Protein backbone atom coordinates (compact mmCIF):
# COMPACT_ATOMS: atom_id res chain seq x y z
CA UNK A 1 0.00 0.00 0.00
CA UNK A 2 2.81 2.38 0.93
CA UNK A 3 4.49 1.70 -2.40
CA UNK A 4 1.35 2.77 -4.26
CA UNK A 5 1.43 6.10 -2.44
CA UNK A 6 5.02 6.80 -3.53
CA UNK A 7 4.06 8.92 -6.61
CA UNK A 8 2.08 11.26 -4.35
CA UNK A 9 5.04 11.91 -2.07
CA UNK A 10 7.61 12.11 -4.89
CA UNK A 11 5.45 14.45 -6.96
CA UNK A 12 4.88 16.72 -3.97
CA UNK A 13 8.61 16.78 -3.18
CA UNK A 14 9.77 17.51 -6.73
CA UNK A 15 6.99 20.04 -7.26
CA UNK A 16 8.02 21.97 -4.16
CA UNK A 17 11.73 21.79 -5.04
CA UNK A 18 11.32 22.98 -8.61
CA UNK A 19 8.76 25.59 -7.62
CA UNK A 20 11.28 27.12 -5.21
CA UNK A 21 14.08 27.01 -7.83
CA UNK A 22 11.83 28.64 -10.44
CA UNK A 23 10.69 31.32 -8.01
CA UNK A 24 13.91 32.33 -6.28
CA UNK A 25 16.50 31.58 -8.96
CA UNK A 26 14.64 32.75 -12.07
CA UNK A 27 11.85 34.95 -10.65
CA UNK A 28 9.23 32.83 -12.41
CA UNK A 29 6.40 32.03 -9.98
CA UNK A 30 3.36 29.95 -10.91
CA UNK A 31 0.21 31.49 -9.43
CA UNK A 32 -1.05 29.78 -6.28
CA UNK A 33 -4.62 29.55 -7.63
CA UNK A 34 -3.63 27.02 -10.29
CA UNK A 35 -1.16 24.89 -8.33
CA UNK A 36 -3.86 22.38 -7.28
CA UNK A 37 -4.93 21.64 -10.89
CA UNK A 38 -1.37 21.61 -12.16
CA UNK A 39 -0.29 19.28 -9.36
CA UNK A 40 -3.14 16.85 -10.08
CA UNK A 41 -2.15 16.65 -13.74
CA UNK A 42 1.48 16.08 -12.80
CA UNK A 43 0.36 13.41 -10.35
CA UNK A 44 -1.49 11.70 -13.20
CA UNK A 45 1.71 11.72 -15.25
CA UNK A 46 3.58 10.27 -12.27
CA UNK A 47 1.16 7.36 -11.88
CA UNK A 48 1.40 6.58 -15.62
CA UNK A 49 5.20 6.45 -15.37
CA UNK A 50 4.96 4.45 -12.17
CA UNK A 51 2.62 1.88 -13.73
CA UNK A 52 5.00 1.35 -16.65
CA UNK A 53 8.14 1.04 -14.48
CA UNK A 54 9.94 -2.08 -13.31
CA UNK A 55 12.15 -0.42 -10.70
CA UNK A 56 11.09 2.28 -8.26
CA UNK A 57 14.42 4.12 -8.12
CA UNK A 58 14.53 4.47 -11.91
CA UNK A 59 10.96 5.80 -11.85
CA UNK A 60 12.10 8.48 -9.39
CA UNK A 61 15.03 9.47 -11.60
CA UNK A 62 12.79 9.71 -14.68
CA UNK A 63 10.22 11.75 -12.79
CA UNK A 64 12.87 14.11 -11.46
CA UNK A 65 14.24 14.70 -14.98
CA UNK A 66 10.83 15.16 -16.62
CA UNK A 67 9.60 17.57 -13.97
CA UNK A 68 12.93 19.40 -14.05
CA UNK A 69 12.55 20.05 -17.79
CA UNK A 70 8.92 21.13 -17.34
CA UNK A 71 9.40 23.49 -14.43
CA UNK A 72 13.05 24.58 -14.42
CA UNK A 73 13.40 24.37 -18.21
CA UNK A 74 10.42 26.67 -18.71
CA UNK A 75 11.74 29.08 -16.09
CA UNK A 76 15.12 29.23 -17.84
CA UNK A 77 13.55 29.95 -21.24
CA UNK A 78 11.26 32.60 -19.77
CA UNK A 79 14.18 34.35 -18.09
CA UNK A 80 16.26 34.27 -21.28
CA UNK A 81 13.69 34.94 -24.00
CA UNK A 82 10.58 36.19 -22.23
CA UNK A 83 8.39 33.16 -22.99
CA UNK A 84 8.06 29.47 -22.01
CA UNK A 85 8.83 26.35 -24.02
CA UNK A 86 6.53 26.03 -27.02
CA UNK A 87 5.71 22.89 -29.04
CA UNK A 88 7.84 24.12 -31.95
CA UNK A 89 10.87 24.17 -29.66
CA UNK A 90 10.87 20.39 -29.96
CA UNK A 91 11.68 20.75 -33.66
CA UNK A 92 14.36 23.33 -32.85
CA UNK A 93 16.04 20.99 -30.35
CA UNK A 94 18.43 19.53 -32.89
CA UNK A 95 19.71 22.99 -33.81
CA UNK A 96 20.08 23.91 -30.13
CA UNK A 97 22.27 20.87 -29.51
CA UNK A 98 24.37 21.68 -32.57
CA UNK A 99 25.23 25.16 -31.34
CA UNK A 100 25.98 24.31 -27.69
CA UNK A 101 29.57 23.68 -26.70
CA UNK A 102 31.29 22.13 -23.67
CA UNK A 103 29.31 21.80 -20.45
CA UNK A 104 26.26 23.53 -21.96
CA UNK A 105 25.92 20.75 -24.53
CA UNK A 106 26.07 18.05 -21.88
CA UNK A 107 23.71 19.97 -19.58
CA UNK A 108 21.09 19.89 -22.36
CA UNK A 109 21.84 16.49 -23.87
CA UNK A 110 22.34 14.30 -20.79
CA UNK A 111 18.83 14.77 -19.29
CA UNK A 112 17.19 14.05 -22.65
CA UNK A 113 19.33 11.00 -23.30
CA UNK A 114 18.82 9.79 -19.73
CA UNK A 115 15.03 10.07 -19.97
CA UNK A 116 14.86 8.13 -23.24
CA UNK A 117 17.30 5.45 -22.06
CA UNK A 118 15.75 4.97 -18.64
CA UNK A 119 12.18 4.82 -19.98
CA UNK A 120 13.17 2.04 -22.40
CA UNK A 121 15.22 0.20 -19.78
CA UNK A 122 12.55 0.48 -17.09
CA UNK A 123 9.51 -0.20 -19.27
CA UNK A 124 7.26 -2.97 -18.03
CA UNK A 125 3.82 -4.41 -18.90
CA UNK A 126 3.62 -6.91 -16.02
CA UNK A 127 0.53 -5.53 -14.30
CA UNK A 128 -2.99 -4.52 -15.33
CA UNK A 129 -2.18 -0.93 -14.35
CA UNK A 130 0.45 -0.82 -17.09
CA UNK A 131 -2.18 -1.66 -19.72
CA UNK A 132 -4.46 1.02 -18.31
CA UNK A 133 -1.61 3.54 -18.38
CA UNK A 134 -0.77 2.60 -21.97
CA UNK A 135 -4.39 2.95 -23.01
CA UNK A 136 -4.55 6.40 -21.38
CA UNK A 137 -1.41 7.58 -23.19
CA UNK A 138 -2.60 6.27 -26.56
CA UNK A 139 -6.07 7.80 -26.22
CA UNK A 140 -4.62 11.13 -25.13
CA UNK A 141 -2.18 11.10 -28.05
CA UNK A 142 -4.89 10.31 -30.60
CA UNK A 143 -7.16 13.01 -29.18
CA UNK A 144 -4.34 15.54 -29.10
CA UNK A 145 -3.47 14.99 -32.75
CA UNK A 146 -6.86 14.36 -34.35
CA UNK A 147 -9.37 16.09 -32.04
CA UNK A 148 -7.32 18.73 -30.21
CA UNK A 149 -10.32 21.05 -29.72
CA UNK A 150 -11.81 18.47 -27.32
CA UNK A 151 -8.87 19.25 -25.01
CA UNK A 152 -8.32 22.87 -25.94
CA UNK A 153 -11.84 24.30 -25.66
CA UNK A 154 -12.53 23.19 -22.05
CA UNK A 155 -9.13 24.42 -20.84
CA UNK A 156 -9.48 27.77 -22.62
CA UNK A 157 -13.01 28.21 -21.29
CA UNK A 158 -12.18 27.37 -17.69
CA UNK A 159 -8.66 28.79 -17.35
CA UNK A 160 -8.58 31.36 -20.15
CA UNK A 161 -5.70 32.19 -22.48
CA UNK A 162 -3.84 35.14 -23.97
CA UNK A 163 -2.93 34.92 -27.64
CA UNK A 164 0.07 37.20 -27.22
CA UNK A 165 1.33 36.76 -23.63
CA UNK A 166 2.63 33.21 -23.25
CA UNK A 167 4.55 34.08 -20.11
CA UNK A 168 1.31 34.95 -18.31
CA UNK A 169 -0.35 31.83 -19.74
CA UNK A 170 2.37 29.74 -18.14
CA UNK A 171 2.19 31.51 -14.78
CA UNK A 172 -1.61 31.27 -14.60
CA UNK A 173 -1.81 27.65 -15.79
CA UNK A 174 1.29 25.90 -14.46
CA UNK A 175 3.79 23.87 -16.45
CA UNK A 176 1.75 20.69 -16.95
CA UNK A 177 -1.58 22.30 -17.76
CA UNK A 178 0.16 24.85 -19.97
CA UNK A 179 2.02 22.16 -21.91
CA UNK A 180 -1.19 20.20 -22.49
CA UNK A 181 -3.07 23.34 -23.56
CA UNK A 182 -0.42 24.62 -25.97
CA UNK A 183 0.22 21.13 -27.31
CA UNK A 184 -3.44 20.89 -28.25
CA UNK A 185 -3.35 24.41 -29.71
CA UNK A 186 -0.33 23.46 -31.82
CA UNK A 187 -2.33 20.77 -33.60
CA UNK A 188 -5.57 22.77 -33.69
CA UNK A 189 -3.97 25.80 -35.34
CA UNK A 190 -1.39 24.05 -37.52
CA UNK A 191 -0.79 25.81 -40.83
CA UNK A 192 -2.53 24.10 -43.72
CA UNK A 193 -2.40 24.34 -47.48
CA UNK A 194 -5.10 26.78 -48.67
CA UNK A 195 -7.41 25.70 -51.47
CA UNK A 196 -7.27 27.53 -54.85
CA UNK A 197 -10.22 29.82 -54.16
CA UNK A 198 -8.95 30.85 -50.74
CA UNK A 199 -5.43 31.50 -52.03
CA UNK A 200 -6.56 33.50 -55.07
CA UNK A 201 -8.99 35.58 -53.01
CA UNK A 202 -6.26 36.49 -50.50
CA UNK A 203 -3.82 37.28 -53.33
CA UNK A 204 -6.40 39.52 -55.00
CA UNK A 205 -7.04 41.39 -51.77
CA UNK A 206 -3.32 42.04 -51.27
CA UNK A 207 -2.66 43.20 -54.83
CA UNK A 208 -5.67 45.51 -54.81
CA UNK A 209 -4.46 47.10 -51.56
CA UNK A 210 -0.95 47.65 -52.92
CA UNK A 211 0.10 51.00 -54.45
CA UNK A 212 -0.52 51.31 -58.18
CA UNK A 213 2.35 50.00 -60.29
CA UNK A 214 4.38 52.43 -62.34
CA UNK A 215 3.24 52.61 -66.01
CA UNK A 216 5.38 50.49 -68.30
CA UNK A 217 6.31 53.55 -70.38
CA UNK A 218 7.83 55.18 -67.30
CA UNK A 219 9.66 52.09 -66.09
CA UNK A 220 13.43 51.99 -66.35
CA UNK A 221 15.05 48.83 -67.71
CA UNK A 222 16.38 46.24 -65.29
CA UNK A 223 19.92 47.22 -64.28
CA UNK A 224 21.83 44.34 -62.66
CA UNK A 225 24.18 45.38 -59.89
CA UNK A 226 25.89 43.33 -57.23
CA UNK A 227 24.00 42.97 -53.96
CA UNK A 228 25.87 42.33 -50.72
CA UNK A 229 23.74 41.50 -47.66
CA UNK A 230 25.44 41.18 -44.28
CA UNK A 231 23.45 39.78 -41.37
CA UNK A 232 25.18 40.91 -38.18
CA UNK A 233 24.66 38.54 -35.29
CA UNK A 234 23.06 40.34 -32.30
CA UNK A 235 24.14 43.72 -33.70
CA UNK A 236 22.67 46.67 -31.81
CA UNK A 237 23.62 50.05 -30.36
CA UNK A 238 24.54 49.67 -26.65
CA UNK A 239 24.38 53.44 -26.22
CA UNK A 240 20.61 52.98 -25.91
CA UNK A 241 21.38 51.83 -22.34
CA UNK A 242 21.69 55.25 -20.73
CA UNK A 243 22.27 53.85 -17.23
CA UNK A 244 25.20 51.74 -18.46
CA UNK A 245 27.41 54.86 -18.55
CA UNK A 246 30.05 53.46 -20.86
CA UNK A 247 33.35 55.26 -20.55
CA UNK A 248 33.95 54.81 -24.28
CA UNK A 249 31.53 54.62 -27.20
CA UNK A 250 31.20 50.92 -28.13
CA UNK A 251 30.21 51.68 -31.75
CA UNK A 252 32.93 52.49 -34.25
CA UNK A 253 32.91 56.22 -35.11
CA UNK A 254 32.84 55.32 -38.81
CA UNK A 255 29.71 53.23 -38.37
CA UNK A 256 27.94 55.93 -36.40
CA UNK A 257 28.80 58.49 -39.09
CA UNK A 258 27.51 56.19 -41.85
CA UNK A 259 24.40 55.37 -39.83
CA UNK A 260 23.72 59.07 -39.24
CA UNK A 261 23.86 59.69 -43.00
CA UNK A 262 21.17 57.00 -43.33
CA UNK A 263 18.97 58.88 -40.86
CA UNK A 264 19.63 56.31 -38.10
CA UNK A 265 17.44 53.84 -39.97
CA UNK A 266 16.30 50.63 -38.28
CA UNK A 267 15.15 47.15 -39.18
CA UNK A 268 12.05 45.89 -37.40
CA UNK A 269 13.01 42.25 -36.79
CA UNK A 270 10.67 39.30 -36.14
CA UNK A 271 12.60 37.94 -33.14
CA UNK A 272 14.39 38.84 -29.92
CA UNK A 273 17.58 37.25 -28.60
CA UNK A 274 17.67 34.28 -31.02
CA UNK A 275 16.01 32.44 -33.94
CA UNK A 276 18.27 34.17 -36.47
CA UNK A 277 16.80 32.06 -39.28
CA UNK A 278 13.51 33.95 -39.05
CA UNK A 279 15.27 37.23 -39.79
CA UNK A 280 16.99 35.47 -42.67
CA UNK A 281 13.68 34.24 -44.04
CA UNK A 282 12.22 37.73 -44.03
CA UNK A 283 15.18 39.51 -45.61
CA UNK A 284 15.46 36.87 -48.35
CA UNK A 285 11.84 35.96 -49.08
CA UNK A 286 9.93 39.14 -48.28
CA UNK A 287 7.19 37.57 -46.14
CA UNK A 288 6.70 38.14 -42.42
CA UNK A 289 7.11 35.49 -39.76
CA UNK A 290 4.02 35.55 -37.57
CA UNK A 291 4.42 32.53 -35.28
CA UNK A 292 6.84 31.41 -32.59
CA UNK A 293 8.59 28.84 -34.76
CA UNK A 294 11.63 28.66 -37.05
CA UNK A 295 10.38 29.15 -40.61
CA UNK A 296 13.34 27.30 -42.14
CA UNK A 297 12.64 24.14 -40.13
CA UNK A 298 9.18 23.00 -41.27
CA UNK A 299 7.52 25.90 -43.10
CA UNK A 300 9.70 26.15 -46.20
CA UNK A 301 8.94 22.95 -48.07
CA UNK A 302 8.69 24.27 -51.64
CA UNK A 303 11.02 25.72 -54.22
CA UNK A 304 10.04 29.41 -53.95
CA UNK A 305 11.00 32.48 -56.05
CA UNK A 306 12.57 34.40 -53.18
CA UNK A 307 15.21 37.07 -53.82
CA UNK A 308 18.06 34.58 -54.57
CA UNK A 309 15.85 32.63 -56.97
CA UNK A 310 14.71 35.77 -58.81
CA UNK A 311 18.26 37.06 -59.20
CA UNK A 312 19.61 33.66 -60.26
CA UNK A 313 17.04 33.66 -63.07
CA UNK A 314 18.47 37.03 -64.10
CA UNK A 315 21.97 35.65 -64.46
CA UNK A 316 23.24 36.34 -60.98
CA UNK A 317 25.58 34.11 -59.09
CA UNK A 318 23.93 33.53 -55.70
CA UNK A 319 26.17 32.59 -52.77
CA UNK A 320 25.72 32.42 -49.02
CA UNK A 321 28.47 32.32 -46.40
CA UNK A 322 28.03 31.25 -42.78
CA UNK A 323 30.88 29.66 -40.75
CA UNK A 324 28.59 27.39 -38.74
CA UNK A 325 27.68 23.73 -39.19
CA UNK A 326 25.72 23.61 -42.48
CA UNK A 327 22.59 21.83 -41.23
CA UNK A 328 21.89 24.28 -38.40
CA UNK A 329 18.28 25.59 -38.69
CA UNK A 330 17.88 23.30 -41.73
CA UNK A 331 19.85 25.82 -43.77
CA UNK A 332 21.05 23.34 -46.41
CA UNK A 333 17.49 22.63 -47.56
CA UNK A 334 16.18 26.13 -46.94
CA UNK A 335 18.94 27.86 -48.90
CA UNK A 336 18.47 25.47 -51.82
CA UNK A 337 14.69 26.00 -51.86
CA UNK A 338 14.99 29.80 -52.01
CA UNK A 339 17.53 29.85 -54.82
CA UNK A 340 21.10 29.89 -53.55
CA UNK A 341 23.51 28.11 -55.86
CA UNK A 342 26.45 27.92 -53.45
CA UNK A 343 26.57 27.59 -49.68
CA UNK A 344 29.91 28.07 -47.91
CA UNK A 345 29.64 26.80 -44.34
CA UNK A 346 32.08 25.97 -41.55
CA UNK A 347 34.14 23.41 -43.48
CA UNK A 348 34.72 25.89 -46.31
CA UNK A 349 36.51 28.46 -44.13
CA UNK A 350 39.93 28.48 -42.50
CA UNK A 351 39.23 28.84 -38.77
CA UNK A 352 42.25 31.05 -38.21
CA UNK A 353 40.85 33.75 -35.91
CA UNK A 354 38.46 32.39 -33.32
CA UNK A 355 36.58 33.89 -30.42
CA UNK A 356 36.07 30.57 -28.66
CA UNK A 357 33.95 28.60 -31.21
CA UNK A 358 33.01 31.68 -33.29
CA UNK A 359 35.01 32.75 -36.34
CA UNK A 360 35.87 36.44 -36.12
CA UNK A 361 34.08 38.72 -38.56
CA UNK A 362 37.39 40.09 -39.87
CA UNK A 363 38.47 36.63 -41.00
CA UNK A 364 35.03 35.82 -42.42
CA UNK A 365 34.93 39.04 -44.47
CA UNK A 366 38.47 38.51 -45.79
CA UNK A 367 37.76 34.95 -46.90
CA UNK A 368 34.44 35.86 -48.51
CA UNK A 369 36.15 38.59 -50.52
CA UNK A 370 38.67 36.05 -51.72
CA UNK A 371 35.92 33.64 -52.73
CA UNK A 372 33.86 36.17 -54.71
CA UNK A 373 36.77 38.02 -56.30
CA UNK A 374 36.45 36.02 -59.52
CA UNK A 375 32.86 37.18 -60.01
CA UNK A 376 33.73 40.78 -59.18
CA UNK A 377 36.63 40.78 -61.64
CA UNK A 378 34.53 39.12 -64.34
CA UNK A 379 31.71 41.65 -63.83
CA UNK A 380 29.24 38.83 -63.25
CA UNK A 381 26.39 40.10 -61.09
CA UNK A 382 26.38 38.43 -57.70
CA UNK A 383 24.12 38.15 -54.68
CA UNK A 384 26.62 37.85 -51.86
CA UNK A 385 24.84 36.99 -48.60
CA UNK A 386 26.90 36.77 -45.41
CA UNK A 387 25.66 35.54 -42.03
CA UNK A 388 28.18 36.41 -39.32
CA UNK A 389 28.70 34.07 -36.37
CA UNK A 390 30.73 36.18 -33.94
CA UNK A 391 28.42 38.01 -31.53
CA UNK A 392 26.54 35.11 -29.98
CA UNK A 393 25.90 35.04 -26.25
CA UNK A 394 27.84 34.89 -23.96
CA UNK A 395 29.99 37.20 -26.07
CA UNK A 396 33.47 35.61 -25.78
CA UNK A 397 36.59 37.40 -27.02
CA UNK A 398 40.01 36.04 -27.94
CA UNK A 399 43.30 37.14 -26.37
CA UNK A 400 43.91 39.36 -29.39
CA UNK A 401 40.74 41.29 -28.55
CA UNK A 402 41.15 42.59 -25.00
CA UNK A 403 38.28 44.34 -23.25
CA UNK A 404 38.06 48.04 -24.08
CA UNK A 405 34.70 49.01 -22.58
CA UNK A 406 33.58 49.05 -18.97
CA UNK A 407 30.23 49.81 -17.39
CA UNK A 408 28.76 50.43 -13.95
CA UNK A 409 25.94 47.98 -14.64
CA UNK A 410 25.73 44.91 -12.38
CA UNK A 411 24.50 42.86 -15.35
CA UNK A 412 27.58 41.11 -16.75
CA UNK A 413 26.32 41.04 -20.34
CA UNK A 414 26.05 44.85 -20.47
CA UNK A 415 29.85 45.06 -20.45
CA UNK A 416 30.71 41.88 -22.35
CA UNK A 417 28.28 42.73 -25.13
CA UNK A 418 29.64 46.27 -25.45
CA UNK A 419 33.15 44.89 -25.94
CA UNK A 420 31.85 42.51 -28.60
CA UNK A 421 30.26 45.44 -30.45
CA UNK A 422 33.48 47.44 -30.12
CA UNK A 423 35.27 44.89 -32.31
CA UNK A 424 32.30 43.82 -34.41
CA UNK A 425 31.51 47.37 -35.58
CA UNK A 426 35.15 48.18 -36.36
CA UNK A 427 35.69 44.98 -38.33
CA UNK A 428 32.48 45.72 -40.22
CA UNK A 429 33.64 49.23 -41.17
CA UNK A 430 36.98 47.94 -42.43
CA UNK A 431 35.08 45.49 -44.64
CA UNK A 432 32.58 48.10 -45.88
CA UNK A 433 35.37 50.51 -46.81
CA UNK A 434 37.12 47.77 -48.78
CA UNK A 435 33.90 46.58 -50.42
CA UNK A 436 32.80 50.07 -51.50
CA UNK A 437 36.17 50.68 -53.14
CA UNK A 438 36.11 47.30 -54.87
CA UNK A 439 32.45 47.49 -55.91
CA UNK A 440 31.40 51.17 -55.92
CA UNK A 441 28.05 50.58 -57.66
CA UNK A 442 27.12 47.59 -55.52
CA UNK A 443 24.09 47.65 -53.25
CA UNK A 444 25.05 46.88 -49.66
CA UNK A 445 22.69 45.92 -46.83
CA UNK A 446 23.89 45.51 -43.23
CA UNK A 447 21.54 44.86 -40.33
CA UNK A 448 21.26 43.31 -36.89
CA UNK A 449 19.20 40.12 -36.81
CA UNK A 450 17.84 40.70 -33.30
CA UNK A 451 18.58 42.47 -30.03
CA UNK A 452 21.16 40.81 -27.77
CA UNK A 453 20.41 38.85 -24.62
CA UNK A 454 21.42 41.10 -21.71
CA UNK A 455 20.66 39.10 -18.60
CA UNK A 456 17.70 37.20 -17.27
CA UNK A 457 14.27 38.83 -17.55
CA UNK A 458 15.66 41.63 -19.75
CA UNK A 459 17.82 42.78 -16.80
CA UNK A 460 20.23 44.97 -18.77
CA UNK A 461 17.35 46.72 -20.51
CA UNK A 462 15.27 47.05 -17.33
CA UNK A 463 18.13 48.88 -15.58
CA UNK A 464 17.93 51.64 -18.19
CA UNK A 465 14.14 51.69 -18.25
CA UNK A 466 13.87 50.81 -21.95
CA UNK A 467 12.04 47.50 -21.36
CA UNK A 468 9.93 46.06 -18.55
CA UNK A 469 10.85 42.80 -16.83
CA UNK A 470 8.18 40.88 -18.76
CA UNK A 471 6.30 41.38 -22.00
CA UNK A 472 2.92 41.72 -20.36
CA UNK A 473 4.07 45.11 -19.06
CA UNK A 474 5.52 46.39 -22.35
CA UNK A 475 4.21 49.69 -23.67
CA UNK A 476 3.72 50.15 -27.44
CA UNK A 477 7.03 52.03 -27.56
CA UNK A 478 8.74 49.13 -25.79
CA UNK A 479 7.47 46.65 -28.37
CA UNK A 480 8.99 48.80 -31.09
CA UNK A 481 12.26 49.03 -29.17
CA UNK A 482 12.19 45.24 -28.58
CA UNK A 483 12.56 44.51 -32.32
CA UNK A 484 14.58 47.53 -33.60
CA UNK A 485 18.16 47.03 -34.76
CA UNK A 486 20.43 49.24 -36.88
CA UNK A 487 20.12 48.75 -40.64
CA UNK A 488 21.97 50.56 -43.41
CA UNK A 489 21.23 50.18 -47.13
CA UNK A 490 23.84 51.72 -49.43
CA UNK A 491 22.71 52.39 -52.99
CA UNK A 492 26.09 52.32 -54.70
CA UNK A 493 27.61 55.74 -55.30
CA UNK A 494 24.34 57.39 -54.30
CA UNK A 495 25.10 56.44 -50.71
CA UNK A 496 22.85 55.40 -47.81
CA UNK A 497 19.09 55.27 -48.29
CA UNK A 498 16.90 56.99 -45.69
CA UNK A 499 13.89 54.76 -44.99
CA UNK A 500 13.20 55.16 -41.26
CA UNK A 501 12.08 51.97 -39.52
CA UNK A 502 11.39 49.19 -42.02
CA UNK A 503 10.01 45.71 -41.28
CA UNK A 504 12.68 43.30 -42.39
CA UNK A 505 10.35 41.47 -44.78
CA UNK A 506 10.04 44.64 -46.90
CA UNK A 507 13.76 44.75 -47.71
CA UNK A 508 13.67 42.39 -50.76
CA UNK A 509 11.06 44.53 -52.52
CA UNK A 510 13.16 47.64 -51.88
CA UNK A 511 16.23 45.92 -53.36
CA UNK A 512 14.34 44.83 -56.47
CA UNK A 513 13.11 48.42 -56.89
CA UNK A 514 16.72 49.66 -56.74
CA UNK A 515 17.49 47.26 -59.61
CA UNK A 516 14.45 48.51 -61.59
CA UNK A 517 12.97 45.03 -61.50
CA UNK A 518 9.53 45.42 -63.10
CA UNK A 519 8.28 41.85 -63.39
CA UNK A 520 5.73 40.34 -61.01
CA UNK A 521 7.23 38.83 -57.85
CA UNK A 522 6.00 37.35 -54.59
CA UNK A 523 7.15 40.57 -52.89
CA UNK A 524 4.27 42.40 -54.57
CA UNK A 525 1.90 40.70 -52.13
CA UNK A 526 3.49 42.38 -49.11
CA UNK A 527 3.70 45.94 -50.39
CA UNK A 528 3.14 48.16 -47.34
CA UNK A 529 -0.32 49.42 -46.55
CA UNK A 530 -0.85 53.17 -47.03
CA UNK A 531 0.36 55.26 -44.07
CA UNK A 532 1.51 52.32 -41.94
CA UNK A 533 4.15 49.65 -41.60
CA UNK A 534 3.08 46.39 -39.96
CA UNK A 535 5.34 44.36 -37.67
CA UNK A 536 3.87 40.97 -36.70
CA UNK A 537 5.10 39.19 -33.56
CA UNK A 538 3.87 35.89 -32.12
CA UNK A 539 0.31 36.46 -30.95
CA UNK A 540 0.15 40.17 -31.79
CA UNK A 541 1.30 42.85 -34.20
CA UNK A 542 1.86 46.57 -34.16
CA UNK A 543 1.36 49.26 -36.76
CA UNK A 544 3.98 51.96 -37.16
CA UNK A 545 1.88 54.88 -38.34
CA UNK A 546 2.93 57.72 -40.62
CA UNK A 547 3.18 60.16 -37.70
CA UNK A 548 5.62 57.84 -35.89
CA UNK A 549 3.09 56.57 -33.35
CA UNK A 550 2.80 52.86 -32.56
CA UNK A 551 -0.65 51.27 -32.61
CA UNK A 552 -0.35 48.02 -30.65
CA UNK A 553 -2.77 45.30 -31.77
CA UNK A 554 -3.09 42.61 -29.10
CA UNK A 555 -6.63 41.30 -28.99
CA UNK A 556 -10.01 42.48 -30.31
CA UNK A 557 -11.72 44.87 -30.17
CA UNK A 558 -9.18 46.48 -32.47
CA UNK A 559 -8.71 50.10 -33.46
CA UNK A 560 -9.55 50.99 -37.06
CA UNK A 561 -5.89 50.76 -38.06
CA UNK A 562 -5.51 47.41 -36.31
CA UNK A 563 -8.60 46.02 -38.03
CA UNK A 564 -7.12 46.99 -41.39
CA UNK A 565 -3.70 45.50 -40.65
CA UNK A 566 -5.24 42.34 -39.13
CA UNK A 567 -7.19 41.66 -42.33
CA UNK A 568 -4.04 42.32 -44.35
CA UNK A 569 -2.01 39.92 -42.18
CA UNK A 570 -4.65 37.22 -42.58
CA UNK A 571 -4.37 37.45 -46.36
CA UNK A 572 -0.57 37.52 -46.17
CA UNK A 573 -0.62 34.34 -44.07
CA UNK A 574 -2.87 32.55 -46.57
CA UNK A 575 -0.62 33.47 -49.51
CA UNK A 576 2.49 32.60 -47.51
CA UNK A 577 1.14 29.14 -46.69
CA UNK A 578 0.25 28.65 -50.35
CA UNK A 579 3.73 29.61 -51.54
CA UNK A 580 5.92 27.93 -48.93
CA UNK A 581 4.01 24.79 -47.90
CA UNK A 582 1.08 24.64 -50.36
CA UNK A 583 0.50 24.09 -54.06
CA UNK A 584 1.58 27.61 -55.13
CA UNK A 585 -1.60 28.78 -56.83
CA UNK A 586 -0.38 32.35 -56.23
CA UNK A 587 3.12 31.92 -57.64
CA UNK A 588 3.76 34.72 -60.17
CA UNK A 589 4.35 33.75 -63.77
CA UNK A 590 7.46 35.22 -65.32
CA UNK A 591 10.04 34.25 -67.91
CA UNK A 592 13.66 33.84 -66.81
CA UNK A 593 16.40 35.56 -68.80
CA UNK A 594 17.66 33.45 -71.68
CA UNK A 595 21.23 34.71 -71.60
CA UNK A 596 23.18 34.03 -68.44
CA UNK A 597 26.54 35.65 -67.80
CA UNK A 598 29.05 33.14 -66.44
CA UNK A 599 32.45 33.44 -64.84
CA UNK A 600 35.34 32.39 -67.08
CA UNK A 601 36.64 29.01 -65.92
CA UNK A 602 40.12 30.32 -65.23
CA UNK A 603 38.72 33.02 -62.90
CA UNK A 604 36.12 31.03 -61.00
CA UNK A 605 36.66 29.52 -57.58
CA UNK A 606 35.72 25.85 -57.15
CA UNK A 607 32.01 25.96 -56.35
CA UNK A 608 30.52 24.30 -53.32
CA UNK A 609 27.00 23.48 -54.43
CA UNK A 610 24.10 23.27 -52.05
CA UNK A 611 23.43 19.52 -51.71
CA UNK A 612 20.30 18.17 -53.29
Q: How far is CA 346 from CA 306, 324, 388, in A?
A: 24, 5, 11
Question: Please, are residues 303 and 585 in contact by the beta-carbon 8 Å criterion?
Answer: no
pLDDT value at position 226?
97
Of the given ranges (86-95, 364-373, 549-558), which has the lowest mean pLDDT?
A: 86-95
Residue 298 CB contacts under 8 Å (≥ 6 apart), including other chains? 88, 91
Going 406 to 407 to 409 to 411, the CA torsion angle's sign is negative
pLDDT value at position 484?
97
Is beta strand 317-321 parallel, antiparallel or unpaired with respect to 342-344? parallel
The CATH class that applies to domain 218-522 reads alpha beta
Of the given ranges (63-72, 315-324, 365-374), which has the lowest mean pLDDT?
A: 63-72
Residue 371 CB contacts under 8 Å (≥ 6 apart), including other chains? 319, 321, 344, 605
Q: Confidence band (pLDDT; 50, 70, 90) for 217?
A: low
Over residues 455-495, the pLDDT tens digits come to 988 999 999 999 998 888 999 999 999 999 999 999 999 99
CA–CA gap between residue 560 and residue 190 (Å, rounded): 28
Mean predicted confidence (pLDDT) in 140-160: 91
Q: Confidence band (pLDDT; 50, 70, 90) for 168?
A: confident
Over residues 224-270, the pLDDT tens digits come to 999 999 999 999 999 999 889 998 899 999 999 999 999 999 999 99
343 beta partners: 320
pLDDT value at position 194?
94
CA–CA gap between residue 539 and residue 534 (Å, rounded): 14
Domain ranges of the chain: 3-188, 218-522
Over residues 438-449, the pLDDT tens digits come to 999 999 999 999
**Residue spans of alpha helices (H) in 68-195:** 74-81, 89-99, 102-122, 128-146, 149-159, 166-173, 175-188
Mean predicted confidence (pLDDT) in 531-543: 93
Instruction: Give the largest CA-CA distance in the chain.
Output: 89
Q: Which of 367, 429, 417, 428 is nearest to 392 (CA)?
A: 417
Q: Which of 502, 496, 499, 501 is nearest to 261 (CA)?
A: 496
Of the given ranges (200-214, 282-296, 536-550), which has the lowest mean pLDDT?
A: 200-214
230 beta partners: 386, 446
Cα angle, residue 263 at apex, residues 485 and 422 outer, rounded to 5°: 50
Amino acid sequence: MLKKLLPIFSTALFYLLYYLISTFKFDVQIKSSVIFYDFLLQLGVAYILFALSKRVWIFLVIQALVMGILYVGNAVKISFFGGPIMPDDVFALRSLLLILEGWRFFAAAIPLAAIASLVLFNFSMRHWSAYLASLTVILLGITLVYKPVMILDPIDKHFGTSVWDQRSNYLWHGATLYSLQEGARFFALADTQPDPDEAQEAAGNLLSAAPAARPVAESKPFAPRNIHIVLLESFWDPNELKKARYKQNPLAPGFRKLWKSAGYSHALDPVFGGYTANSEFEVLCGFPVTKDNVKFERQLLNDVPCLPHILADKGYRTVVSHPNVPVFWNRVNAYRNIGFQTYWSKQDFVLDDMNREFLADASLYRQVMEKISGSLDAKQPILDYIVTYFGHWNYPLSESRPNKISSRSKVEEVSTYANTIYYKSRELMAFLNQLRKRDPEGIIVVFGDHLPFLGENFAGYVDSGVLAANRSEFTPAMFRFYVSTPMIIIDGKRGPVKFGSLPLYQVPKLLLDLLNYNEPSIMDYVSPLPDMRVRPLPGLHFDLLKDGKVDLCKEPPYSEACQKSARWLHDVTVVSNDLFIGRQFTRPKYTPEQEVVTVPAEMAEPPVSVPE
